[in-house]
Amino acid sequence: MSHPVRRARRALLLGIPAPAVLFLLITWQVVGHGPLLRADARLSRDLVQPDGFAQFLSDLGDVQVAVPVLLVAAGYALWRGRGAGHARWWLPPLAAAVLMALLPALVVPLKDWIARPGTPVVPPATGYFPSGHTATAAVAYGSATLLLLPWLRTRTARHSVLALCAVLILGVSYGLVRHGYHWPLDVLGSWCLSAALLTALGTLPGFSRSSRRTSSGTPSSSSGPS
């Protein structure tokens, strides 16, 4: 069995169930008003301090900001993949775009069903769990990173892109909690949901350096003899 296939199976067995189970546990606590909600409320009180910087960070999770970043990365991946003549060069950008388009169809019904009230600093309403801004940022920036990584030649470049992705997602998450737009568990739930979705996305053909090279008939120098 080839290395990319083994890696995909490990990801499916470990990378998807773990965050999915954690998401279900957090959702159970929110729906059942479990003991985690008390800790969640205390943490929120300690962190909430609305200011301009928190607003700026939370705005990075807007669709108008995050989705264009994904579109630029998808366009770059399309250009590089087609120019290199790789098989199914269109699949990774298309899959990332489809995932981004379908994300509201997954998050919005969850918000409506769980109907969690907001923090005391926002107008009375429900539908705050899971955080849509966090999910938008995680899926958009995470998918963009997955699309770019196979085309980066140096370890420094790859680590820099990964670090930037983490900073953006963490920044949005902190801004949402700091400004009081979301409870911490709203953000944590979206992290878990997004991690499962991105792991599934990353197992598709074309999202790794080795699978791109082998799909075009050229063995990867890092994967060893077949």
Q: What is the pLDDT of residues 162-203, one digit of tens each?
A: 999 999 999 999 999 999 999 999 999 999 999 999 999 988
Q: How far apart are CA 8 and CA 142, in angstroms?
A: 17
Q: Is 37 exposed, middle or buried (0-12, 13-18, 19+ CB in 10 A)?
A: middle
CA distances from 3 to 210, 213, 218 (A): 8, 13, 15
* pLDDT band with cut points at 50, 70 and 90 for residue 131: very high
Answer yes or no: are the C-beta atoms of 130 and 183 closer than 8 Å. Answer: no
Asked if 82 contacts 187 with a C-beta cutoff of 8 angstroms, the reply is no
Q: Look at residue 207 in the predicted model and tell me its pLDDT.
A: 78
The overall average pLDDT reported for the chain is: 88
The residue assigned the tokens 């607003």 is 55
What does the pLDDT read at residue 168? 98
Residue 73 confidence (pLDDT) above 90? yes
- The mean pLDDT of 138-160, rounded to a whole number, is 96
15: pLDDT strictly greater than 70: no
Task: Supply the pLDDT for residue 93.
Answer: 96
- Can you read off the two tokens belonging to residue 138? 């995680």
How sure is the predictor about 55, in pLDDT bands with cuts at 50, 70 and 90? very high
Domain ranges of the chain: 3-214
Per DSSP, what are the bridge partners of residue 126?
117
Judge whether 133 and 181 are in contact, CB under 8 Å.
yes
Residue 127, pLDDT score: 96
